[in-house]
Amino acid sequence: MAKKDIDWGNIGFGYMKTDKRFVSNYKDGKWDEGILTGEDTVTISECACVLQYAQTIFEGLKAYTTADGRVVCFRPDLNAERMMDSAKRLEMPTFPKERFVEAVKEVVKANIDYVPPYGSDATLYLRPYMFGSNAVIGVKPADEYQFRLFATPVGPYFKGGVKPITIRVCDFDRAAPHGTGHIKAGLNYAMSLHAIVDAHNQGFEENMYLDAATRTKVEETGGANFLFVTKDNKVVTPKSDSILPSITRRSLMTVAKDYLGLEVEEREVSFDEISDFVECGLCGTAAVISPVGCVNDHGREIVFANGSTEMGPVISKLRETLTGIQMGTIDAPEGWIVEIK
Ligand SMILES: *Cc1c(COP(=O)(O)O)cnc(C)c1O
């Protein structure tokens, strides 16, 4: 076995077919054993619930090579748990946590030659997902489901340095109160596509969504949670029932508190107070944390004093520490790093 002939430093964030993926089917009230397969296409009824009523959920995590050459992944148990929460909300069967973590390990092992080497800043992105697969025409949950987990190598999120981005306050809503904003469902992304295309057309890199009910509180972007830093170095993240609980954000809050000794707060953040913050970052698996330099509110620019031209000191330190933990150069909290090979 040898590493695939891939220019690791120059692959983007796109899909590349790898050798094996895991597939398990749910029928007659239970999941089958599941298999690793080379088959990368899916054949389902033209009337499958996923195609008609968008009954689908997903997860995203990564496997990578540590400084000492181990292949590991980061907190897959939390992805498994979150996927169970997503499944319940969409009336889907849950895929058991132990089996989820096992599937992650199997898929990474079966595609080990696609795991980018340490230092390339590339990773093997893992995409578990599940969908209602049998024909449903009256609106109701499917009876049959498929769980799949594939792997695709992805390049460094920040090619050529990390530059703070400009985002805009979005006039579209992402998640209703008591809706589905807190789960990782495809439907949340389908309806965000227009908003993100529109943002890009207007020259902004992301949307800042406010709470749908009052439009006075900060929620998140289409795919990342916010962290803010106050003048006195307190790390603040918005609290809301309609935010997707980012594993990266939860990990960074622990890092801030336990590794950097900073004060942390998860609380409602009113939009009016963001001009008081000195740094802002977006957290998610792909980029860990990316700096936001400026928020554009219908033409009014809110600039973060310590992070508008380059990544601010607290966000930098958070990023450095979490990536150090992930890469094995800083001791990790118990259970955060799961060794595969
Ligand atoms: C996946 C996702 C995130 C980031 O979560 P991580 O677990 O850190 O990758 C944030 N917001 C939304 C809406 C998401 O779907």
pLDDT digits (tens, 9 = 90+) for 31-87: 999 999 999 999 999 999 999 999 999 999 999 999 999 999 999 999 999 999 999
- What is the CATH T-level fold of the domain 8-154, as seen in this structure? D-amino Acid Aminotransferase; Chain A, domain 1 (3.30.470)
What's the 225 CA to ligand 1 centre distance in angstroms? Answer: 7
What is the pTM for the complete model shown?
Answer: 0.97
> Is 283 touching ligand 1 by the criterion CB < 6 Å?
yes
3 — pLDDT class (breaks 50, 70, 90): confident
Which residues on neighbouring strands pair with residue 295, listed in sequence order?
167, 302
Average pLDDT over residues 117-137: 96
80 contacts 100 by C-beta, under 8 angstroms: yes
Helix extents (H) in 132-246: 186-190, 193-201
Q: Share the mean pLDDT of the chain.
A: 96
Per cent of the chain over pLDDT 90 is: 91
What does residue 254 show for φ and ψ, rounded to 5 degrees?
Answer: -65, -40
| C-alpha 222 – ligand 1 centre gap (Å) | 8
Q: Which CATH superfamily is domain 165-325 in?
A: D-amino Acid Aminotransferase, subunit A, domain 2 (3.20.10.10)
Q: What angle do CA 186, 190, 195 make, to 5 degrees?
A: 135
Q: Cβ contacts of residue 242 below 8 Å, gap of 6+?
A: 174, 175, 176, 177, 179, 181, 182, 211, 212, 219
pLDDT score of 270: 98
Report the residue among 206, 246, 289 best suited for mutation to probe ligand 1: largest number of ligand atoms under 8 A from its CB: 246
- pLDDT score for 161: 65
- Does 284 sit in the ligand 1 pocket, CB within 6 Å? yes
Amino acid at 188: N
Whether 307 lines ligand 1, by a CB cut-off of 6 Å, is no
Question: 247 in ligand 1 pocket by Cβ < 6 Å?
Answer: yes
What pLDDT score does 286 carry? 86
The pLDDT of residue 1 is: 58
Q: Please state whether 290 falls in left (phi above 0), alpha (psi between -120 and 50) or beta.
A: beta
Residue ranges per structural domain of the chain: 8-154, 165-325
Is residue 57 within 8 Å of residue 83, measured between CB atoms? yes
Amino acid 155: pLDDT: 87
* Pairwise CA distance, residues 341 & 331, whole Å: 19
The two tokens of residue 203 are 């020259």
